Amino acid sequence: MGRKLLLEKAHVENIRLYDVYRREGGYRSVEKALKTMAPDAVTEEVKKSGLRGRGGAGFPAGMKWSFLAKPEGVPRYLVVNADESEPGTFKDRYLMEFLPHLLIEGMIVSSYALGSNNSYIYIRGEYAWIVDILEKAITEAKQNGWLGKNILGSGFDCDIHVQRGAGAYICGEETALIESLEGKRGNPRIKPPFPAVKGVWGCPTVVNNVETIAAVVPIINEGGDEYAKIGVGKSTGTKLISACGNINKPGVYEIDMTISVEDFIYSDEWCGGIANGKKLKACIPGGSSVPILPANLLLKTAKGETRYMNYESLSDGGFASGSMMGSGGFIVLDEDQCIVRNTYSLARFYRHESCGQCSPCREGTGWMEKILWRLENGEGKMSDIDLLWDIQRKIEGNTICPLGDAAAWPVAAAIRHFRDEFEWHVNHAQEAQVRNFGLGHYADEIHIPVST
């Protein structure tokens, strides 16, 4: 059983309330940072910790902070990205719903490091009840002197505001989020300039995921070096994984990134095995945008080594035979699931969420959805599979923001690993309407390394 840094107190009764949270050791990191550390020293600890952005891209958080421009007389902003919308991901919701003060605490320390006197939480509009939870926590923190003017006599002022989005996946992309925070459509901006130089209202801005900011609390409490000792390689600390799909125990788990994928799926400590005694067919290990893997490549790498739940191991083999840690949205598919149907559902999602700025994404996502619908409904042609491949290739890398890639990768991986299931849908169009392809050979051991 690994160490828990974020969810350790999640099950303490009434931990959502300030008094309980404080009694359990909450807000110690604010005391430590504001009373004994200079802002740059806080950033230094975050750098030492090796913490990688938990939103999906995995960029080192301390480095992102050190890029923040600090021109004289210009306000700087910390914006927390709570727009959690990547299918399969529901970890930030859990954190905010049950441990709102952990996020507020992390935000105060981070705001101090960055010099942000007004920090914002941009939360997806559908999490309406969590807005109330967060606002209550902010009020409690303010009443107890953790927010407002001259916090703990340090001379540092900070207020936190919550802004609700209104239903747009694209607003999880940091520049779209900034546009949305400014009261506009969520159209991503062309970079550079990066938000660190020109972000919200033209001012230097850091946008970080909820889990990233929450992790700052244990990093400051225990020190960056101690935090970096947990985990393995460049996968330091703990990671929240939201597990869903056809498993016995869906939910949010905090892991220390040293466990194997097989243990994560089958151990009762985590997913508890595949639901209804069925077999594992495939898995999307890091949110819907990352490549889907068949059971055999999920549990072992193409070299036949055990695959682990961390950044490096999940991406071992590149896109040819690996996937990504992404946001930690772990979606499991059992033997009765249809890959074509699943891919269609995700393609529809990306078509719906494309902001429409770049034509490859705006048009391409719609074309992919239509072709996948044809294949799924028995009207597909063999050439459709190659057409799909061609379209996704032309979207990837040709858009302003990563939504294009995010829409292309699931389709590419599905064809790469499950091509025979797509072909079966064409060759057995009638049969495919009444039954699914089934497990096929997707769980068979692989003897020959997959070529690229």
Choose which of 53, 55, 56, 186 interacts with other proteins (CB under 8 A).
Answer: 186
Q: Is 345 in the site for other proteins (CB under 8 A)?
A: yes
> DSSP secondary structure string, 127-151?
-HHHHHHHHHHHHHHHHTTSSBSSG
Given a contact cutoff of 8 angstroms between Cβ atoms, the answer to whether 404 and 363 are in contact is no
If binding means CB under 8 A, how many residues of this protein chain bind other proteins?
55
Q: Is 107 in the site for other proteins (CB under 8 A)?
A: no
Q: What is the DSSP letter of 208?
A: E
Q: Is 74 in the site for other proteins (CB under 8 A)?
A: no
The continuous run of DSSP H or E covering 103 comes out as helix 100-114
Stretch that binds other proteins, among 190-198, 313-321, 333-341, 426-434 (CB under 8 A): 333-341
The span from the CA of 185 to the CA of 180, in Å, is 6
The span from the CA of 368 to the CA of 127, in Å, is 30
Stretch that binds other proteins, among 53-61, 177-185, 305-313, 359-367 (CB under 8 A): 177-185
User: Six-digit token pair at 233?
Assistant: 């390689």
Q: Is 184 in the site for other proteins (CB under 8 A)?
A: yes
Choose which of 23, 201, 229, 449 interacts with other proteins (CB under 8 A).
Answer: 201
Cα–Cα distances in Å, from 73 out to 6, 65, 76, 198, 372? 36, 19, 9, 14, 54
Closest distance to other proteins from the beta carbon of 133 (Å): 12
Q: Is 67 in the site for other proteins (CB under 8 A)?
A: no
The span from the CA of 207 to the CA of 213, in Å, is 10
Residues 6+ apart with CB under 8 A from 231: 237, 238, 256, 257, 258, 310
Q: Of 163 and 398, which CB lies nearer to other proteins in the complex structure? A: 163
Q: Is 441 in the site for other proteins (CB under 8 A)?
A: no
Distance of CA 268 to the CA centre of its chain: 24
Helices 128-143 and 91-98 cross at an angle (nearest 10°) of 40
The tally of CA atoms less than 13 A away on the side-chain side of residue 233 is 11
Q: Is 183 in the site for other proteins (CB under 8 A)?
A: yes
Choose which of 79, 95, 168, 406 interacts with other proteins (CB under 8 A).
Answer: 168
Q: Which of residues 349-378 bind other proteins (CB under 8 A)?
A: 349, 352-353, 355
| Window 210-249: contact mask with other proteins (x via CB under 8 A) | --------------------------------xxxxx---
Closest distance to other proteins from the beta carbon of 22 (Å): 26
Stretch that binds other proteins, among 140-148, 183-191, 230-238, 424-432 (CB under 8 A): 183-191
The span from the CA of 254 to the CA of 102, in Å, is 15
Q: Which residues bind other proteins (CB under 8 A)?
A: 75, 84-90, 93, 118, 124-129, 161, 163-169, 180-186, 201, 242-246, 250-252, 284, 288, 329, 331, 333, 337, 341-342, 345-346, 348-349, 352-353, 355
